[in-house]
Amino acid sequence: MTETILLSPRRSRVERRPTRVGQRYFIRTIGCQMNEHDSERIAGLLVADGMSRTTHLDEADVLFINTCTIRENADNRLYGNLGQLKEWKDSRPGALLVVGGCAAQKDRELVRERAPWVDVVMGTNNLDRILDLLDYAENWGGITEVVDELQAMPSSLPVRRELTHSAWVSIQVGCNNSCTFCIVPAVRGPEISRRPGDILQEVGGLAASGVVEITLLGQNVDTYGRDLALGGRRRPLFAELLRQVGSVEGVRRVRFTSPHPADFRLEVAQAMSETEAVCEQLHLPLQSGSDRVLAAMHRGYNVTRYRQKLEMARATIPDLAVSTDIIVGFPGESEEDFQATLDMVEASRFDQAFMFIFSPRPGTRAAELTDRFVPSEVVKDRFDRLVEMQNRISLEANHSRVGRVEEILVEGPSKKAAGVVAARTRGGKLVHVDGSWPAGTFLTTEITGAAPHHLVGRLV
């Protein structure tokens, strides 16, 4: 079903002349890297219409909130923010408030009901409509436009990036999986891959402008290209794409997120190992160490198969850093299931884990299993035990790097201490180094200290 309350025709960006010269915009992004990427495209369209960015909300003529709905706390943050923004709207006559992203795609009526002062509600599939929707709201009042089919690949839109040395590049939108806890297929739609030539053209342009680090984005990058008819080739197109992106002159680091354990192939691991620019970093979501829970999640693999993929990756890619995702308290999870997760985490020795308490998302099958929900006090106890274990493992992994000399890429000043920069190793580990260098600077450092979530280095 498609809901479109805007009846005016589309205007191409080529035909449109800038109409908001001198106005300012403020974008607040909640959620994942795909949302960050989309926000850069929204910013690009607003700049093309004559606007400039402000970091002060009280100066904004347009406020765009790019929402997330993966977990309940993201929804709570959204409605809390919208309540606070009623005062902002009242204090700035003529200012426009836009809510976009996954929560808007899923809960379009609820956004309108709980925050009727929002001027524009738009979904994930019609980013290219932002300027027309602003025009409508400015002249005729509040507007909702949420469509189920992608109208324009986000990467085809203008872009304004905050970073000059690093860039997200979308290679795929949507997801064809059916994980029972995940709302992404409902709010992002089925998988659609970009043509390799378009991706390489964008990467080439970024490299020519000084970008040295590329992160390829997709909900399941391992299935990239399956929907493209490219001469009937059967071998993994993502492996080929990694090699091609890694060979673009000027690109020194290539990362990607996220692969799926059920689809991760030896060819991709080989491409990572054999392509110098591709970093030795792999995010491989586990979610649970229990076969019973994995089956209930519809993950498409069991613990044995996951372990085989992880061992294959580590055997193929020297010095590989591995991170993962884990959900605690999935409906029906027993203490035995959770202990299996602890055993798997202990054995897998992940460098880092993103750990979450199960959050029921309306519209997912897992949200309907209310009679199997695990008591909150039990979930909290399990979560604390998992965090304690992973912090110990992460600290041990980081301590093992003390004394090594590593190339790091400066991301900017540390948010925790003055006179310190934050940088990343090729394996994605955060390093703090005394000094001051601009973002995008490569440094050679000796690792002198370690904590669970960062390293300390000194310039060599």
In angstroms, the CA 259 to CA 286 distance is: 11
Q: What is the predicted pLDDT for the residue at 4?
A: 45
Q: What is the predicted pLDDT for the residue at 73?
A: 67
pLDDT at 1 over 80: no
In angstroms, the CA 431 to CA 410 distance is: 9
Residues 6+ apart with CB under 8 A from 110: none
The tally of CA atoms less than 13 A away on the side-chain side of residue 379 is 18
How many C-beta atoms surround the C-beta of residue 449 within 10 A? 14
pLDDT in tens, 369-422: 999 999 999 999 999 999 999 999 999 999 999 999 999 999 999 988 889 999
Strands 143-146 and 166-170: unpaired
Residue 13: which pLDDT band, with cuts at 50, 70 and 90?
A: very low
Q: What is the predicted pLDDT for the residue at 34?
A: 86
In angstroms, the CA 199 to CA 428 distance is: 23
Q: What is the predicted pLDDT for the residue at 15?
A: 58
pLDDT in tens, 43-89: 999 999 999 999 999 999 999 999 888 776 667 778 888 888 999 99
Q: What is the predicted pLDDT for the residue at 410?
A: 98
Instruction: Report the mean per-residue pLDDT for the chain.
Output: 91
pLDDT at 348 over 90: yes
- Domains, the chain, in order of start with CATH, read 3-146 (3.40.50.12160), 163-279 (3.30.750.210), 290-297+312-400 (3.30.750.200), 405-459 (2.40.50)
Q: Is 395 helix (H, G, I), strand (E, B) or coil?
A: helix
> Which range, of 55-69, 177-191, 261-275, 350-364, averages the lowest pLDDT?
177-191
Q: What is the predicted pLDDT for the residue at 234?
A: 56
**What percent of the chain has a predicted confidence (pLDDT) above 90?**
75
In angstroms, the CA 148 to CA 187 distance is: 8
Q: What is the predicted pLDDT for the residue at 358?
A: 95
* Residue whose C-alpha is closest to residue 406's, from 298, 286, 310, 280: 280
pLDDT at 296 over 90: yes
Residues 6+ apart with CB under 8 A from 439: 163, 164, 165, 410, 411, 412
For residues 88-102, average pLDDT:
93
Q: Is 371 helix (H, G, I), strand (E, B) or coil?
A: helix
pLDDT in tens, 413-451: 998 888 999 999 999 999 999 999 999 999 999 999 999
For residues 148-166, average pLDDT:
84
Q: Report pTM.
A: 0.87
The 10 Å CB-count burial string (b at 16+, else e) for 93-107 is eebbbbbbbbbbbbb
Max mean pLDDT range (33-37, 86-90, 343-347)? 343-347
In this predicted model, which residue has the larger pLDDT, 87 or 12? 87
Q: What is the predicted pLDDT for the residue at 7?
A: 41
CB-CB contact of 296 with 332 (8 Å)? yes
Q: What is the predicted pLDDT for the residue at 9?
A: 44
Q: What is the predicted pLDDT for the residue at 189?
A: 86
Q: What is the predicted pLDDT for the residue at 143?
A: 92
Q: What is the predicted pLDDT for the residue at 163?
A: 87
In this predicted model, which residue has the larger pLDDT, 159 or 458? 458
pLDDT at 181 over 80: yes
pLDDT at 6 over 50: no
Residues 6+ apart with CB under 8 A from 231: none
Q: What is the predicted pLDDT for the residue at 152?
A: 75
Tell me how many degrees the CA angle 376-378-380 measures, rounded to the nearest 5: 70
For the CA atoms of 166, 172, 173, 177, the dihedral, rounded to the nearest 10 degrees, stands at -120
